[in-house]
Copies of this chain bind each other. A is one copy, B any other.
């Protein structure tokens, strides 16, 4: 029982008893999103803007990342912001634009849900729920997405230990939804040279403890556009099952996270580099043709 927990003398946790725990070396969950299999040998790339801002921004970005090889489109309709005065997302209009982008590109979409009351609405407009870092310990929300049968991309809290991260996943699994993808996105440390400290150690550690797929967000993990490609490659070498990367058709005009969003051409170059790197660590990029067919 971790330090956050109260102590109940008569309940004893048996190691390996968690639903999230790996039962054997080969025990591995594959989360299948319309034929895109996350957690297998093939690497899955999620890309798109931080926030859905307007139709042309989303569609232009979506078409480009799709053309360059992304499998799934990301884009925030509801944005958790430190300040109530910051842009909070287009909300329902953003969800509709995501559906439009999906229709245009054929890519499934992932978007964040921040409120248990919005799970039904968001769920009918996304292929994967994202639970953001700030909400990793929002147990009501975890339970609510756990009661759906839609995949959940769960981001590690900024100060969550590996143990707490797995317990958060357990809340979802415990409600019956085993389609959980874990996402390392940087922890908070004393270092201020980067926005967060992307913790790639978490990848082998999580892969050893759980059967759930593990992906990495080098955009939030570093906060610097010029670091994203390098850390993306390091994440794949460390064993990640995929990446979620912020790309914007015009990063300099982005309403949100422009400094860490790749230009489309940078994303293209990264995809080419990953295609070379993947086989060197026994992986390959998911074959996009198989999705659309």
Contacts and interface: CB of A to CB of B under 8 A. Distances in A.
Interface of A: 1-8, 11, 13, 50-51, 79-87, 114-117, 134-135, 137-141, 143, 157-159, 161-164, 167-168, 170-171, 174, 187-201, 203-205, 208, 221-223, 226-227, 230-231, 233-239, 254-259, 273, 276-277, 279-281
Contacts of A255: 6, 8
Contacts of A256: 6-8
Nearest to A133: B137
A277 B194 CA distance: 27
A201 B187 contact: no
Contacts of A273: 281
A256 to B, nearest CB: 3
A231 B227 contact: no
Contacts of A238: 230-231, 233-234, 237
Given A5-B81, A82-B2, A135-B137, A159 B158 contact: yes
Nearest to A161: B191
Contact of A5 (B86, B157, B187, B230): B86
Given A6-B254, A204-B231, 15 more contacts: A1-B86, A2-B83, A3-B223, A5-B83, A7-B254, A8-B87, A82-B168, A83-B167, A134-B137, A159-B159, A190-B190, A200-B231, A203-B230, A204-B227, A277-B277
Contacts of A188: 159, 190
A257 B7 contact: yes
Contacts of A51: 6
Nearest to A196: B3
A199 to B, nearest CB: 6
A198 B11 CA distance: 29
A205 B201 contact: no
